Chains A and B, each alone.
Chain A
Amino acid sequence: MHNKINILVICLILFSSIMLGCIGEDVQESVVTSASSETTLEKQIEKTLVIGELWDIRILDPVMSGEMVKEKAMIVDTLVEADPDFKLRPGLAESWEQVSDLQWKFYLKKDVKFQDGTEFTADGVKWSIERAMDMNPPVKAVTQIKSIGVVDKHTLLFTTEKPYAAFPASLEYPSLGILSPTSITDDNGVVTKPIGTGPFKFERFDIASGTLYLLRNDNYWGIKPGLEKLVIKGIPDPASRAMSVEKGEIGFTCDVPYGDIERLKATPGLNVEVHPTARVYQMQFGNLSGTPYSDVRVRKAISYAIDREVISDRTLHGCAAPAIGPVMPMISWSNQELDGYPYDSGKAMQLLAEAGWNDTDGNGIVEKNGEEFGVTLYTYPQRPGLQPMAEAIQSMLKDVGIKVEVRVMDWSAIGEHMTDRDLKLSGTAVAMVPDPDYYLRKTYHSNGDSNIWGYSNPEMDSLLEEGLSTFHAGKRQEIYDRVQEIALDEVPIIHVAYYKVAVVMHDNVQGFVFNPIAHDYMLNPEMYIAS
């Protein structure tokens, strides 16, 4: 009997909490307005912006978490920076010139000081970049630096392993943020208090709550930062971020749940912007040889069968754009002539039939030599768009006669389960380095790091190698235009959609300019809080 009473009590509590939840919304609204009017009272708080960050903050060493320290906290700068169209612009380096195929001379800005007052010199830069190459092997692969020579106090001479046209762009890599040699490290040599040249300096880091406190750097070499204080708080759960920004606990965040975007747009006092960024949703084939995918017609059929418009607009609620080729059109090196694969299930079925896949037993699934076209599509749960996208693709491929089973598991576990016949859906950064070489070579070169599906085309290989040693911008663009054309024509990998990030901020947060070069989002010193 006691048990039954307990159950009843629990039911009542549950029911009343549901009811409270419904009422809660209105109550919260009023809290928001009162909270924001309170904050405007205090001038001190007025110039403080709290950011709801997507990941837990753990490490403050730019070599290991460059995105955090450089793009979000703005403590360090890189020698080279990039504009929103991915064209390079000077950062800490005023200018640079190519001395020979292998050598580059970089002239540093002269009136720059580190945040602790020490002078910014070529020796410091050399120390900082060499440290990054020692600690983080990918940095060495990305920059291809063989040696760094100090010419004078403000001039550096870089020598690369091979002719490398993407070299200046590679210095934008956030792990190459320039640290002062006076930065404080722990016993393992990992920086715990980074000192850089950026618009904000480290104040303190509360490791328990994962909150980073920053102060304006009054000696910043660029414009005077509009904010006095910046607080970055790790809130990994998207729903919690949405709630925090609504309640006024944070003033800026991004990647809120898709289901909340419309509602947040309609909420007074909030400003929602959806921006394309350099990340692509791609579907890769297990292996291009010894599987149905060895026939290019099958790969094309799959690409035609996917309705990219509806996936972007409906399934991902506008937080994606239909993909054409491997490079999104906003990037300066994208080939604007390409048409992509518009949705055409009739054409897809026709191509499958030409490749020998026909539905002979009338069960809706195509067969070839008595074998059904059944595959498993793997994806992982960390990016919320992937699972619904996988399920949408599953139903679209079923329409053309391919039976797909979706399996969602941890990124690291997919490799153990996936076979050559299977498919994998993932989100991948296209411009970790603002140069076409970065993504195109690793994806399409027969020795590319990502190319585990075994795509090999001698023409593609020689074009990609030519691109590395071609320094003339116009000629280089022609090469990469051709690369993108072949990539689209041979479909060694399918690009489904371009990622869009939803930024939510309070109306009084002004001056924010979205830069798609960022890995998640990037703050800028021009941001300020209007009163």
Chain B
Amino acid sequence: MTLRFKQNKLPGKRSIYLLKHKSVAIGSTLIVMLAFLAIFAPYLTPYDPIEVDLYNNIQSPSWEHPFGTDNLGRDVLTRVIYATRIDILASIFIVGISMIIGISIGIVSGYYGGVIDKVLVGMMDTFLALPEIILALVLVGALGPGLFNVTLALSLLGWVKYARVSRGLALSIKEKEFIEAMKAVGVNDFYLLTRHIAPNTISPLLTLAALHLGHAILSLAALGFLGLGAQPPMPEWGAMLNEGRIFLRGGWWLSIFPGLMIMITVLAFNFIGDGLRDALDPRMKEVVIK
């Protein structure tokens, strides 16, 4: 016997409201533009992001190279565009993995309660007490530098926020009648957790996820700046900032453009996150209106 319950979805009106929300509109426009850059990168620029031209290094912006060239003569615009691909994909990966881990731990903790809950909450508190970037540094130090290792480290560290929120949600959902009903007809725990409790935690977590995307990009760039992330010649915003650092005054274009891209992307995700919160959280909306 299988039971299917219609899941909660955003009502149609609400999605229109979302797009009318100014910051969401700005944020999503920016994201669509960035996604366009990332997807069509090879068609947008005639250069190869890792092809060096040693004789034309440190050229200031011109028609040929609108963002100038770096110390190895690579086109900065091309590298910035290709870096969009790497940074955004990596941050989506980080957020995805963090959400999966966070939701799993959170709902198990909330649903079962008791000793399991105590142990898991203790773990969450421990993780929250330690700064994420320091833990990431330690993990990457152990794994060795590289984009994959950095992404892995940040994925393994980002789950706590999701776990805390989804635990709270699971605590309230498990008291609902439809869960009681399913328990009464003998649906097993795994089915309940994966098909009913987990999906119900996702939409409140979207706000968190949008903000986390921006945060993940900042962490990626920070680790890249320290030389732990993407290894040369891979274009990555943080690593590009670092490469530009010693040319900061003689070749400002090396660091300004990747820096601007980081700022725009993080802002876009934060705008969306804020908008989502306003739209999805009725209490928050009241506070704002007041």
Give me the interface of A with B, judged by CB distance under 8 Å. Answer: 1, 3-4, 7, 11, 14, 18, 25, 238-239, 242, 257-260, 262-263, 307, 310-311, 314-315, 381, 384, 387-388, 390-392, 394-395, 405-409, 413, 417
Contact = CB atoms under 8 A, between A and B. Distances in A.
B233 interface: yes
B239 to A, nearest CB: 10
Contacts of B72: 315, 388, 391-392, 395
Contact of B144 (A7, A405, A417): A417
Contact of B57 (A14, A315, A387, A405): A315
A409 B57 CA distance: 25
A11 B245 CA distance: 21
B203 interface: no
B251 interface: yes
Interface centre among B54, B144, B233, B248, by most chain A C-beta atoms within 10 angstroms, is B54
Given A314-B55, A391-B233, A392-B52, A409 B249 contact: no
B232 A259 contact: no
A1 B52 CA distance: 46
22 contacts: A7-B270, A18-B256, A238-B246, A239-B249, A257-B248, A259-B250, A260-B247, A263-B249, A310-B55, A314-B55, A314-B73, A315-B57, A315-B72, A391-B72, A392-B72, A394-B232, A395-B52, A395-B54, A406-B231, A406-B233, A407-B145, A408-B232
A178 to B, nearest CB: 39
B56 to A, nearest CB: 9
B246 A307 contact: no
A381 B228 CA distance: 11
Nearest to B250: A259
B150 interface: no
B250 A262 contact: yes
Given A3-B270, A395-B52, A259 B58 contact: yes
Nearest to B266: A7
Interface string B157-174: 000000000000000000
Interface in B46-83: 50-52, 54-55, 57-58, 71-73
A11 B271 CA distance: 13
Contacts of B274: 3-4
B246 A257 contact: yes
Nearest to A380: B227
Contact of A259 (B50, B144, B246, B267): B246
The 10 closest A-B pairs by CB, nearest first: A259-B247, A257-B246, A259-B250, A395-B52, A310-B54, A406-B232, A314-B54, A391-B232, A1-B288, A388-B71
B251 to A, nearest CB: 5
Interface of B: 23, 50-52, 54-55, 57-58, 71-73, 144-146, 227, 231-233, 243, 245-251, 256, 263, 267, 270-271, 274, 288
Main secondary structure of the interface of B (DSSP, over half): loop
A262 B60 CA distance: 14
B71 A315 contact: yes
Contact of A394 (B23, B233, B249, B271): B233
Given A4-B274, A395-B52, A384 B246 contact: yes
A315 B231 contact: no
A288 to B, nearest CB: 26
Contacts of A262: 250
B231 A307 contact: no
A408 B246 contact: no
Nearest to A243: B249
Given A260-B246, A395-B233, A406-B231, 8 more contacts: A238-B246, A260-B250, A263-B249, A314-B73, A387-B232, A387-B243, A395-B51, A417-B144
Interface centre among A263, A388, A405, by most chain B C-beta atoms within 10 angstroms, is A388
A443 B51 CA distance: 34
Contacts of A395: 50-52, 54, 72, 233
A4 B144 contact: no
A263 B231 contact: no
A417 B270 CA distance: 39
Interface centre among B71, B145, B274, by most chain A C-beta atoms within 10 angstroms, is B71
Contacts of B251: 259
Contacts of A408: 145, 227, 231-232
Contact of A390 (B58, B73, B232, B250): B232
Contact of A257 (B23, B73, B233, B247): B247
B99 to A, nearest CB: 22
B214 to A, nearest CB: 10
Contacts of A257: 246-248, 250
Contacts of B270: 3, 7
A18 B248 CA distance: 12
Interface centre among A18, A263, A391, A405, by most chain B C-beta atoms within 10 angstroms, is A391
Contacts of B231: 405-408
Given A4-B23, A391-B52, A413 B247 contact: no
B144 A409 contact: yes
Contacts of A258: 71, 246-247
A529 to B, nearest CB: 27
A311 B245 CA distance: 20
Given A388-B72, A409-B144, A259 B52 contact: no
B263 A14 contact: yes
Nearest to B55: A314
